[in-house]
Structure 1
């Protein structure tokens, strides 16, 4: 896979906590869910077997799903994340019924550049994920 430059922005990963912000309840992982020092921001296509995906880094969108600006927000998954049995794979609508459904709803097909991770969750090609790598960084 050829190297592709990725714009990285400062990301602050806090230890899990509960609370509200501006009246909205925040969904955060359990207290012992992960060590924040091990979390990495990774392009979706670089998720490997054994990595644990704990959330996404997403741009702000308007009502027409156009990016509003370069600002991004981090969303933790509200379920208990498990290590990946398989790494990321290119999206294949024929993989299962859920993938066929996603292909219809999203209007994408094989070779679209979309990726599948975490079972059959489908991501845009430019998606960044919060990952706890199986192997610590050297």
Structure 2
């Protein structure tokens, strides 16, 4: 019987903190914004209606903007997030003015493989998000 593959994401998720390891000050979500035990790392293309996106996972770059190993860092949204109304959808640069702007800045078109979620934030095809799945929402 063949084995099925499991995608593992190299991310360490820490509780929100007002300071980074290097001492930079950060804005954090309200203390009661979410239950950390319910958070999952999810590819952007798999965000569904009812899921709550609470942050992003970003590549870690050195001082000369070179990728460092496979390390990634977590960026929490600075507000209490709402469940997604529509979930992820392929990027459509004509959807709204913000999407037109993102298409220009990112240089991407309709079939670019980029994704958007509620609020029209544009994500690259390999983006990972911090999500509370709709099944775990309280």
Shorter-chain TM band: 0.7 to 0.9
Tell me whether 1:123 sits opposite 2:123 in the alignment: yes
SS of aligned partner of 2:135: coil
SS of aligned partner of 1:25: coil
User: How far is the alpha carbon of 1:48 from its aligned partner?
Assistant: 0.4
Which protein has the bigger strand share? Answer: 1
Structure 1: 5+ residue runs without aligned partners? none
User: How far is the alpha carbon of 1:99 from its aligned partner?
Assistant: 0.6
Map Cα deviations across residues 56-111 of structure 1 (whole Å, 9 max, x no partner): 11111357755232111000011231111111000001111111111111100001
Matched with 2:37 is 37
Matched with 2:12 is 11
| TM-score for both structures, normalised by structure 2 | 0.84
Residue 116 and residue 4 in structure 1: after superposition, are their counterparts in 2 closer, same or farther (change >3 A)?
farther
Matched with 2:102 is 102
Aligned residue runs from structure 1 range 1-138, under 5 A: 6-14=7-15, 16=16, 18=18, 21-62=21-62, 66-136=66-136
Q: Is the 8 A contact 1:59 1:69 kept in 2?
A: no
Structure 2: 5+ residue runs without aligned partners? none
CA RMSD of aligned residues (A): 2.5
Task: Answer with 103-112 or 56-65: which moved more.
Answer: 56-65
